[in-house]
Every structure is written in structure tokens, then in C-alpha cells.
Amino acid sequence: MILYVELWNARQTWLDMSEEERAAYMKEVEPAIEETTTWGLELVGWSVVNQKGHHDAGYRYLSVWKIPDEETVQKLEATVEQAGWHRYFEQVNAWGSLAGPDEVIGDMIQTGA
């Protein structure tokens, strides 16, 4: 199982659109978002990021997914790209095998990273 995190901000192209144009685009991509649920992904949730913390990541939005395998990660990323999402949003992703604290802390200690 893979833990997958998306962080994004609106680009100027999105900000320049009217609310009606934004709503029309989101309505257009809605079927693609809904289709992902048939691939065995689990959407943990979307959020507007609380930007009050000391170590704010600098992104307004985030989503977290549990994804069964790397092939499905690639399929999700291709779908997002095909939907034209990156024309409107600057996005970064982070993902890796779902692990517990002991495994991650062990890696931190062992690799020094």
C-alpha cells in the first residue's frame, strides 16, 4: 500500500477565470475524479491547509490517498495531467510505501537523512 500526498496552489490562469469558468472546469473533471475510486484507491481526504503553523508548507490545498500499487500511482498522475490540472494549479506530490514510525525512524537513524 502506498501513501500519496498532493499539495497545490492556484496558478494565475485559475485566478484570472470567473467563478463560472472555474465551476465549469471542475464539473468537467468531476467524472475523472469519481473514476479513480474504481481503481482501488482510498481517498483519505482533501483539505484547505491551515497556514498558521511554524513550518507551513506554502500550499493552500492538500489531498491524501492510500493507493494499492505504483502502477495505480502512475495512472492517477496521468489522469491528473490529461485533465489539464497543471494549467491551473502548481502542484507537488510525495509518496512512498505505507510504513509505521519504527520503520521510518529506523531509516532516519540508519541513513542519517
Q: Residue ranges of the domains in the chain?
A: 2-111
pLDDT at residue 106 greater than cutoff 80 = yes
Per-residue confidence band for 88, with pLDDT thresholds at 50, 70 and 90: very high
pLDDT tens-digit map of 36-62: 889 999 989 999 998 777 777 889 999
Residue 97 has pLDDT above 90, yes or no: yes
| The pLDDT of residue 81 | 93
Please name the residues in contact with 28: beta carbons below 8 A apart, sequence gap of 6 or more: 83
Q: From the options 1.20.1580.10, 3.30.70.1450, 3.30.590.20, 3.30.70.1030, give the CATH code of 2-111.
A: 3.30.70.1030
pLDDT of 94 strictly over 80: yes
Q: Following DSSP, what letter does each residue of 11-33 receive, concatenated?
A: -HHHHTS-HHHHHHHHHHHHHHH
